[in-house]
Structures are given as structure tokens and as C-alpha cells.
Structure 1
């Protein structure tokens, strides 16, 4: 197994994905400090060597220590991994800009956009911290499978090849394969908007529309993400890779996906609040639907599936009617 180039890493966010990543990085030999907003949670993780709330049954490596003290978490680290919900990330970065070390590589493992502005995570980091080294990791990876050491492949995006390799070196082992990519915009757009399509797929399946409809939603959903991505400067091939098609298929088809589960619950008649409460973790596709709608309008791109999800969530359009309208919509000449 290749040992990571960097040995001291802070992971900010002790949900399922943050904990799984912290566990992976520590198992690879890094000294990892997992920061939790909840001090009681941090104490329990340290005492029990597991995160019983988010990753029950997974024993965490000895090299992982949890804390609720941000200054302690980031002191002397070479990488700071951001695994916080995007709806609070911009405010968090601005509030703690004086504490976060500018010398570190900042690695985004969250997906989504800032509420109200549609800003990507790389833009939030630059706005709060200035010109710091930045990378984004994305791909078809469920936290529980990564935590149990099952094989996976991850895209590591950075405009600086050396930064991408440093992050890949921390992740890489005999069951995690890393693929560098310099298209940060494409990776972030794909990662945020696939959650919207997963909600659509969950609604469709929950209403009993079947596999044919799901496949159509995935295929046409990928096309509309690509249209927006190209308009915003992303490369088309990024959307056919791990961060695009790979993550999209995983999130739309497997019931480990929180966004798919949210769609299934909406189809059963639950309200948004009831569905989110039952899932118990952030459902990033809700905010991403609002911001995807905003980005589509600003760029002049047609995104009918994203628009349908937005109308279901925020304008009261019945879910069954939304899917029916999508299927009966007259295709444009460029949408073959």
C-alpha cells in the first residue's frame, strides 16, 4: 500500500461521509483529527472508536482522534478536508477564516451550492480564504462501503497537478483508485446536480413508473447537466467520468442514497420536513434544486428535470404530474 504524502490531516464534519473519509485517511497512515460541531459526539467517538450515530458497527483506526475544538483540529495540518453541509459551509468558512491555515490544501468532499448565490465550493473557499491550494474529491462512493474497505474509484480534481497528486496519495491504497482531473467546475457541478436527479429517480420509482422511466431520467438528466456545464466552462468529458455518470448512476439507483430515499418518501405522500427528519442527515438535493433552477435561468439553459424537481419542492406541483409532464414534453431538436 502506498503511504500518504501528508501525515497530518483535519477532516471537518463528523457525519457518515466525513467519518468514512477520516477512517480511510487514518488507515492509510495519516494522523487524522476529525472535527465535530457537537462536543458530546466528539467525546463519544474518541471513547468508543466508532461513530455510532452515522457509521454504526465500524471500528475507527487508532490514528483518528475526534475533537470539537477547531483550533486544535487544524493546528499543524497539511490538508483540511471540508465535509460540512453546503448550506452552512460559506458562513462557516467566513466565520473561521482566521483559524484555518492558509498553508494547507483545502479539499472539498461536500456536494452542492451555496443557498441564494449558487456559488460552488471552490468559489466559497476562495471568497473566504483567498488564493489557497484547493482540490475536490467526488465519484460513486457510499460512505458505508468506503468505511468497510470495499473497492472504489474516486476523481480528484484540482487546477494544480501537484495538489491533486498530494490528495490522491492520501487516499490511495490497494482498494481505492484515484483519477486526477483539472476540471474543478465540471466535477463540482456534476456532484451537486446529480442529487437533484436522484430525487427525481426516487419519486419516479416510488410512484411505480419502472426501470424504463428511471433510465430515461438518468440519460436526459446527464444531458441537461452537461449543457449547463459547457455553458459555465466545464469540459464535456468530465460528465462521462466518475464524478459525472458514475456518481449519477449510483445515486439514482441505490437505496443507500439519501436523495433517492427522499424522493421515494415524497412519492409515498410524506412532506419535505417529514422525509428529511426520517432520513436524519442532510439531503443536499433540496438546496441544489433551487440553485440549479437559478443557474439554469441565469445561463439560459433548458433543464426540464431540474425544473420539475424544483416545482415539486417549492411550488407544490404534485409529483405524479411532474413525471407525467416530463414524459409528455415535446423534445427539442438538440435533445435526441
Structure 2
């Protein structure tokens, strides 16, 4: 049996750890903050991140990073994108033998614009890497509602191993090998979800959201292909699937953050109200900068960047999107493929 350590006691790390423990796997949830750790151990709840939820009695907990990592054969990274590098560097400092890394974060690193697998390859190149992504909210996985995910790795045997390890009666895992496509889709959909929430805040309606999501997957695909992804990946779970759930669900932090911006809240006010990490905010900046570097036109991302980072009025941004030059619907995709 694998010994699994989940690093990160947020909503997603908690839900995944609990799912593994309920299945009977040897799982340990590492929680960095001592106060949170003490509360979880005492009450078997994690109210800051998951409401009306109780951890399985089979799940172990730890506040000792060195021990948690040292004993594991599979390490699940369940921290925000901006914390991934520091966690991987801590693992490297322990000088442990290679073990499977499974990443749950969805984003691009600030400044470098690197995908998580690229960061891992830079710091821990000997560790097999698997991205586990797909249309999933922790709140629903915690309730054992039917969910599908994709285990993606350039190492086929590792992807299959994680597929088998995580699969349950309510959690179906597919395996994939297009790491660029899976990671790009998972990261960029947060931008479109944020924009979808913004249109809800502006009370623009279903027509607007349908257009936004459709054109959103178009520009996600354009940048993804430019970076080396396979076009068909964006038609799957980590593309259109993840986009649908994140743009439409009330569980979505990105959608909720965008909604507050659409209602006139400042970035600071919206962050305070959501009170959890909103990956789409930083990913908007990273994706905008990356698109400029590689010469891919991403109008939704660009206008959202103007709203979030330059203070442009959301209504003006939408008007500018609606009055752009006429073009063929598939422009950009055909050019690349």
C-alpha cells in the first residue's frame, strides 16, 4: 500500500485526503498552521474551508513537515500556485529519494509564467509528476457526489497508478498524457470564470455568459496550442468541463470574486469578502503577460487585466469587446493548427 501525504489543509486538500482515507488508503493530511491543526485534530472538522463536514476517522493528521514528507511514497501538493515553489524547495532540502508528486493547484507562476510541472521539473526533476485536474469543487467531493478528474503525466505508468489510487464509486479518474493542455486548461479557465462572475454582477444575462464561455475556450485553446498542447484536450474534462463548472457554480471562488467586481467592489474588498485564494486574479496577469510574449491575441484576458490591474470600468471593457473588428469565428485556431 502507498503511504500518501497531502500537503495543504485547505478545502481541496481536505476533500481529497478524506476521499482517500474513506477508501482505505494510508493517507495523512499535513496542516502547516498549528492553530488550524489543533482544531482539526480536536473536532475532526475544518470549518474555515468546508462547512457541514467531518473528517473520516481513518485519516491521519500531521503538523510535522519533515516526518510527513519523509514517510510518504506519494506526495500530493494541495497549496495555492504561489506557494508551490516554496513547498517543493522544502521537499528538496530534505534530500529524500524520489517519490510521486501529484499536483492539485491550477495556475501559472507569477513572473516566470511557468506551469506547475515546469516548476517541479526545475526543482525535483527526478520525481515523477502527475497533474490531477478536472471539473471539481471540493465541497461536492467532500459530500461524495459523482465527480470526474484527469490524472495526467508524461509517464504513462504514473498516470495509471494515480488513476487507480484515487478512483472510488463516486470519483472517476481518466488518464492523459497532454500535460501542457491539461495544465493550461486548468489554469486559464479561472480567468474566464472570473469574467463570467463579473458579467453576472453586471446583470448581463445568460446570452452574455454563453458567449463569454464559448469565446473563452477559444482563446484558452489558442494559447494552449501555441505552448504545445493538443487541441482536443480543450474539448475534454480539463478544458470545457472545468470551464463549465467554474463559470456557473456558486461554489466557485473565481466566479464569486468576479461577481463582486461586477457589483462595483474593489479588488481589495472582493478579496476580503471571498476570504480564500482566488487563483484567477493572479493567473489573469500571468496569462496576459504570456500572451503578449508569444503573440497570441486573448481579448477577454486582456480586458479583464485592464479591469483588475488598471482600474478600467467593467462596462466599458465589455463594450470594447463587443465593438471589436469583425472576424471569422475560428480565426486564430486555424492559423495555429
CA change 1:279–1:102 in 2 (3 A) is farther
Which residue of structure 1 lines up, in the alignment, with residue 192 of structure 2? 197
Q: Does residue 181 of the first structure (1) align with residue 176 of the second (2)?
A: yes
Q: Does residue 287 of the first structure (1) align with residue 282 of the second (2)?
A: yes
Which residue of structure 1 lines up, in the alignment, with residue 16 of structure 2? 21
Distance 1:78 1:95 in 2: 16
Task: Deviation per CA, 1:205-263: give whole Å up to 9, x if none.
Answer: 11011100100010001011111111111001110000000000110111110000000
The 5 Å alignment of 1:1-336 reads 6-99=1-94, 101-333=96-328, 335=330
Instruction: Give the TM-score taking structure 1 as reference length.
Output: 0.95
Residue 334 of structure 1 and its aligned partner are, at CA, apart by 5.5
Residue 100 of structure 1 and its aligned partner are, at CA, apart by 6.6
Task: Deviation per CA, 1:93-122: give whole Å up to 9, x if none.
Answer: 224422274421000101001111111100
5+ residue gaps in structure 1? 1-5
Following superposition, which runs of at least 4 residues in structure 1 exceed 2 angstroms of deviation? 99-103, 331-336
Task: Deviation per CA, 1:170-213: give whole Å up to 9, x if none.
Answer: 21011111111001111110011100001110111110111001
5+ residue gaps in structure 2? 332-337
Distance 1:152 1:264 in 2: 25
Residue 76 of structure 1 and its aligned partner are, at CA, apart by 2.1
Distance 2:50 2:311 in 1: 34
Give the 3-state SS of the residue equivalent to 1:84 in structure 2.
coil
Give the 3-state SS of the residue equivalent to 2:284 in structure 1.
helix
Residue 58 of structure 1 and its aligned partner are, at CA, apart by 1.2
Give the 3-state SS of the residue equivalent to 1:97 in structure 2.
helix
Residue 56 of structure 1 and its aligned partner are, at CA, apart by 2.5
| Higher alpha-carbon deviation: 117-126 or 92-101 | 92-101
Instruction: Give the TM-score taking structure 2 as reference length.
Output: 0.95
Residue 62 of structure 1 and its aligned partner are, at CA, apart by 1.8
Q: CA RMSD in A?
A: 1.3
How many correspondences in the alignment? Answer: 331
Task: Deviation per CA, 1:142-168: give whole Å up to 9, x if none.
Answer: 101000000011111011111011111
Distance 2:329 2:193 in 1: 24
Is contact 2:131-2:151 (8 Å) kept? Answer: yes
Is contact 1:74-1:100 (8 Å) kept? Answer: no
Give the 3-state SS of the residue equivalent to 1:154 in structure 2.
strand
